[in-house]
Structure 1
Amino acid sequence: MVRLTFAAQRRRWLAWLLAIAWAVLLGLMPWWAGLPLLSGLAAIQAIQLPRLQRYHGFLRYALRWGLAGLLVAAYLAFDNHRLGLTLTALAALAGFSVLVLLESWQDHKPRRSAAIAAASPDWKELALAPIGPADTLIELQAPYWIALDGTSPDAPADVTMVGAHSCRIGVDARIDHVEPQVSIAPGARWLAWPMAAWRGVVLYDRAHDKPYRLRDWQLYGWHADEAWLSRDEEQPPLALSHVLGQDVIDEP
């Protein structure tokens, strides 16, 4: 069962209001001004820059609602309403068909970022790679979720829930908008909570007293005291250092 909090509902209503406002804005703009804007968004979606992958869903909704607003602007530009209605209908058929094809292509095309390419290189990268010792086999430890409702004896003493979706670590640190369960890394340095309504994961670094809130990611497992995260079943899990873009190799 997925429990939706008031904060999640407010975010959902805010998203709907922004989408409607975006469509109304393009509907009031001249069609020749909105068309290049939507074309630019479509090009960004087609290129799939790694740094913009986190905004993939946002751009998709912007194209959908923006196209609806553009069609309204195109219809209002015609003085002959009968001819305008016909041409707008044809434009709607063509535009939404292209949009569906673009989204289908994106859903079935593997998204290879630099981190994914490092984790699973294609045959060209393997052919050009130098011959050397085999890679180390990484075995992930599945996360063990501990309930923080006071019933689990494994719950850490310094981690307590102070509300339905708020957790306190020690005396000063506090994590909000999380589910009442936690997973602890083997070395006990990292803590992980599912976001409220399971919209992502929150990781807390005890050593540096720093939280990381990662939307649309889920904790897949632990390895060498590091969290490995996954977006969906079609992509391999990635280490937290890859996800954060902090994968640094120490030179001797």
Structure 2
Amino acid sequence: MVRRHSPAWRVVLPLLAWLILLALLPWWLGLSLLLALAIAVAVLPQRLADEHAALIRRTLRWGLPGMLFALQRTLGGDAFAWGAALLGALAGYTMLAGLEAWLDRELRRAPAAPSAEWPELAMAPIGPAAEIIELQLPAWQLATGGLPDPLGGCVAHRDGAYVFEIGERIAGADAPVAFSPGGRWFAAQLRHGRGVLLWDRQRERQHRLRGWRLDGWYRGQPYLVRRDGDMPLALSTVLGGDDADES
């Protein structure tokens, strides 16, 4: 039965062999090899493939202990030799950390978002995007003889009230009348021209707005004004703070 090594051991075993080799070589030869590798990875970072650069970094980290072991062996292996080796390890790994930090400077540097120049900022729009509202004028009609209802049937004005074939009866409104595009809204003038009556047929709500008149439709919704030349307001705005009766 063949025993397979894990991928981690395939990486560690060559590095361990490299450490032992530098421990057996003269320390000055091991130091020369490590310096050559450090210069290569520092001077030629763009020409080295990523896997080659990573391999050189690992050989530097693993080779330094082997070279220091060879140094203390040359110095006699006493306490002074081990002290010199430990100081060399401190200095060597400090330089390795600085080298790796310098090599990884591009990875840690976050790309700065391009800042807009002042002419672009001056020309940039401020606030929400503007919307041009083009109202569709209401088609006022007299319902004395009966008018077709966009939702089916017809509507007629009888005995001071508007009667729909669907069974709805709206009193207190005069002629003329108008339907919104699609027929959701029914509009009529209040008696004596005191305002406008709006019936939301989808929600079954009536709004009697004194002092307002229908100026047009936009996206199927009514827009109102108090007098000519005023800015048209949506019904939701009018109901927010004006004199309105809802029935």
Same fold (TM over 0.5): no
What TM-score results when the alignment is normalised by the length of structure 1? Answer: 0.42
Q: Larger RCO: Structure 1 or Structure 2 (Cα < 8 Å, ≥ 6 residues apart)?
A: 1
Q: TM-score, normalised by structure 2?
A: 0.42
Q: Greater CA radius of gyration, 1 or 2?
A: 2
